[in-house]
Amino acid sequence: MAVNTVPVRATHAEQVEDWREAVRTAAGLLVDLGVADTAYVEACVASVEKNGPYIVLTKGVALAHAQVEAGVTSEGIGLLRLAEPVVFGHPANDPVDLVFAFSTSGGDAHLAMIRRFGLALGGDLPARAREAAPDRLEDVLCAVAVDD
């Protein structure tokens, strides 16, 4: 039986100034959960500044993350849904209205979380996140936040 063991936090916002604010808001949800600190939030932004918009995985969806060493204490998942999509600079998948963020303890847990997101994004997670009422967004994350 799948059990939700990863803490989740989600929010809806009408708009943000730019992709940096979107990433900071999504990763900031991990700080709110107590699974990461502000150094991790800034590492998520720095990763995109250094590597470009590689976190924009598919149409309208970004997955913010950084190295574990950058201030993670445990696993967590955050989601920022935007009414007004934001541009990351991705040539095919902009603009972005769903910014997921995750933290893990590293190693196998990091790969497992990426696999979970891959499966969920290949399914109906984006559509469910876009359609959910604001107070039901965290329920949508259960597709990712379960042990196999």
Residue 16's pLDDT is what?
97
Q: Which residues of the chain have pLDDT under 70?
A: 1-4, 69, 146-148
Whole-model pTM above 0.75?
Answer: yes
Distance between CA 105 and CA 48 in Å, rounded? 21
Residue 35's pLDDT is what?
93
* Beta-sheet strand order (sheet of 96-103): 8-13, 76-86, 96-103, 61-64, 56-58
Residue 119's pLDDT is what?
87
Active-site amino acid positions: 65
Distance between CA 148 and CA 135 in Å, rounded? 26
Residue 4's pLDDT is what?
54
Distance between CA 20 and CA 44 in Å, rounded? 9
Residue 24's pLDDT is what?
98
DSSP β-bridge partners for residue 81: 12, 98
Distance between CA 85 and CA 132 in Å, rounded? 16
List of domains in the chain:
3-141 (3.40.930.10)
Distance between CA 1 and CA 89 in Å, rounded? 40
Q: Quick check: helix, strand or coil at residue 123?
A: coil
What size, in residues, is the chain?
148
Distance between CA 64 and CA 101 in Å, rounded? 4
